[in-house]
């Protein structure tokens, strides 16, 4: 869900029109419409002000991510997976090329 969807959901939950929320948040209704449509992205301070005008607050959290890209597998496990994939490939190419020949321009 992007910021615009969150803002719209919070506004609709409170039963506010864009104009009513604009007055409460000291922001024009056209700017709010642009945020909701994803044409503009509010700064953090503006986002907090708008959310508070709807009776909501912004809560930010973090989640650890795997920066190694190996999914927690050892090098040996990764090598085994690569070799298993290589076994699925043909050992030799076909003696003739079976591809269409395109006419010269």
Task: Dump pLDDT digits (tens) for 12-51.
Answer: 999 999 999 999 999 999 999 999 999 999 999 999 999 9
In 3D space, the residue among 29, 30, 32 whose CA is nearest the CA of residue 8 turns out to be 32
Contact assessment for residue 9 and residue 36, using Cβ atoms and an 8 Å cutoff: no
pTM for this predicted structure:
0.60
pLDDT score, position 44 = 94
Distance CA 40, CA 46 (A): 12
For residue 69, pLDDT over 90 is answered with no
- Cβ-in-10-Å burial (0-12, 13-18, 19+) of 75 comes to exposed
pLDDT for residue 105 is more than 80:
no
Averaged confidence pLDDT in the chain: 89
Cα(51)–Cα(24) distance, rounded to whole angstroms? 10
Please tell me the CATH code under which domain 3-53 is placed: 1.10.260.40
Return the closest-CA partner of residue 21 out of 54, 58, 56, 55.
54
């Amino acid at each position: 869900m992007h910021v615009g969807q969150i803002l719209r959901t919070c506004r609709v939950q409170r039963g506010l029109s864009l104009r009513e929320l604009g007055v409460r948040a000291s922001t024009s209704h056209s700017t709010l419409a642009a945020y909701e449509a994803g044409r503009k992205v509010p700064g953090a301070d503006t986002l907090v002000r708008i959310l508070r005008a709807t009776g909501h607050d912004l809560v930010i959290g973090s989640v650890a991510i795997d920066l190694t890209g190996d999914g927690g597998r050892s090098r040996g496990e990764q090598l085994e997976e690569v070799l298993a994939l290589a076994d699925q490939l043909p050992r030799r190419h076909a003696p003739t090329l079976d591809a269409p020949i395109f006419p010269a321009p």
